[in-house]
Chain A
Amino acid sequence: MTKKIKSENKKTRHSKKPSAVSYHLKCAKTANGLTHFVMYGDVPKKKMPL
């Protein structure tokens, strides 16, 4: 079961300090061009986290 993060953020914003924070995200698309120190060849069209 996966959910979009945006809706989750709305929920957590109103909650008190949590008893712990832990999560793991999966990117729908992995990056083109896993590069070294300098990036890149793949121009993000609103899809890449970096």
Chain B
Amino acid sequence: MNNNRVISFSDIDADWKLALDADNVFWGVVPKKVDGAFMMPDDLITLYQKEREHLDKELHDFRFNAELNCIYIDPTDKCNANCPYCYIPSRIRKKGTQMTGQELDAVLTKIAAHFKTSSKKPVIVFHAAEPLLVKGILFNAIDRFHKELLFGIQTNALLLEKEDVEFMKKRRMGVGISLDAPEADINNISRATTRGNGNFEKAVQAIDWFDGYEGLNVISTVTKFNVHRLSDHVRFLHKKKVPCVLLNPVRVTRIPALKLKPDQKVFAENLMDAVDTAMDLSIKSGRQIVVGNFSNVILAIISPSARRMMCDISPCGGGRTFLTITAGGEMVPCGEFIGSKEFSGGNIFDTTISKAMNSKPFKEIRSRTVEKIEECNTCDFRHICGSPCPAEMYARGNMYKKAEFCDFYKEIIRHAFKLIAEDKVKYLLRKDSLAYMQYEYQYK
């Protein structure tokens, strides 16, 4: 432990000053006086001294000792869409390797055996390219394994039918539906189908069928096309009873995506507006919608080990709390590495999950920490932002470069502190969940 550590001070806005130990995310927000001066209360420093060691330990455990508990499976490399930003190279989507029912069975049997002694059921997410192209084999497998494993699915909804929705609800699956904008013309630019239109109509129909189901997330990838539509998107989805939307920055893992990157400042402003809209609607209607990726930032501050999206922490969750099995059986730390063969930790059909976890490429991803990245190593927000993402930065030439969306993260993290200071957290996390959370300490 570094004994020369200090609390740093920075501005949140005109009203609040932030005191932060960047190494363990001990934070305090202090009101400013009219002249901008502030007073750091002595007893806040005493609190820091008291809590420092345990916060160090909590963050260290979460960064280095959290267990593998999620496996993404790409049951097919084929897709019925052709989104311009897709991180799966089109040569892979065209080749279209696909798992057979027997192969999927073998994979799930191996996974179930690997987790046999775990205290928690692992989560299996059918992810890419478009899992519903092989829904028959997926649903059979879910029926066989649902007692041992939890299941989720990510889809563009093009092939979704009403009875599929009933099945997913019955099996309590986590479901992600991709929809980028509240109107067809904008959405269908980035979510284009191979037939030349888009997924708008089908995705909206699917959302209607899910009818407020708790396990539904809408995933929106933010590009320069939809960046101005985020608030309206939240409004649209709230009307449709969607409980959670992710407004994810487009990863510029491939060159075509780079051209779609939104301006970071514009994105930050629109995301903050969308969060405000979500809070407003949730309060006025009594029915909640959360912007999941922003809620994750809130958690990273107030309860770091309760967050669930593991891109915004270093080392990231890839090859650590989750891994991806491709249609050909290769185990890679994260689906974002699907285009880079050198990151395979071995093939599930001829090696084990444990061996993959101990493989060189997995260790390499697990050793990418913010401490080793210039600028991040001195950034106050390094354990809130995490400098995502290694796959993206590797594709851009150097994994040890700071995040492509650095300025965006800085803005939204400051906004998160502001909302925490204003006591808005109760509107930003899922309703009732706070009742299950307990104070470890509170400054009074």
Interfacial residues, chain A to chain B (CB-CB below 8 A): 2-6, 8-9, 12-13, 17-50
Instruction: Please state if A43 and B215 are interface contacts (CB–CB under 8 Å).
Output: yes
The answer for the CA separation of A25 and B431 in the assembled complex, in Å, is 16
Instruction: Please state if B123 and A40 are interface contacts (CB–CB under 8 Å).
Output: yes
B113 within 8 A of partner (CB):
no
A-contact 0/1 string along B408-444, CB 8 Å cutoff: 0000000000001101001001111111111111111
- Most chain B CB neighbours (cut-off 10 Å) among A9, A17, A49: A49
Instruction: Please state if B322 and A8 are interface contacts (CB–CB under 8 Å).
Output: no
- In the bound complex, residues from chain B placing their C-beta under 8 Å from that of A47 are 432-433, 436
Which 9 pairs between the two chains have the least Cβ-Cβ distance?
Answer: A41-B123, A33-B123, A41-B152, A43-B215, A27-B306, A34-B321, A22-B28, A40-B174, A2-B438
The answer for the CA separation of A6 and B436 in the assembled complex, in Å, is 10
The answer for the CA separation of A9 and B444 in the assembled complex, in Å, is 12
- In the bound complex, residues from chain B placing their C-beta under 8 Å from that of A38 are 125, 127, 154, 176, 217, 219, 246, 248
- Which listed residue (B69, B122, B305, B443) contacts A21, Cβ 8 A? B443
Q: From residue A38, how far is it (CB to closest CB) to chain B in Å?
A: 5
Instruction: Please state if A33 and B125 are interface contacts (CB–CB under 8 Å).
Output: yes
- In the bound complex, residues from chain B placing their C-beta under 8 Å from that of A36 are 72, 309-311, 316-318, 322, 334-336
Contact segment of B257-265, B274-282, B292-300, B356-364:
B292-300
Asked whether A39 and B438 contact (CB < 8 A) given A34-B308, A48-B308, the answer is no
Instruction: Report 30 cross-chain contacts, Cβ distance below 8 Å, ordered by A residue.
Output: A5-B437, A13-B423, A17-B31, A20-B19, A20-B29, A21-B420, A21-B423, A21-B443, A22-B27, A22-B47, A22-B442, A24-B302, A24-B439, A24-B441, A26-B306, A26-B439, A31-B306, A32-B150, A33-B122, A35-B72, A35-B123, A35-B309, A36-B72, A36-B311, A39-B292, A41-B174, A46-B431, A46-B436, A47-B433, A48-B433
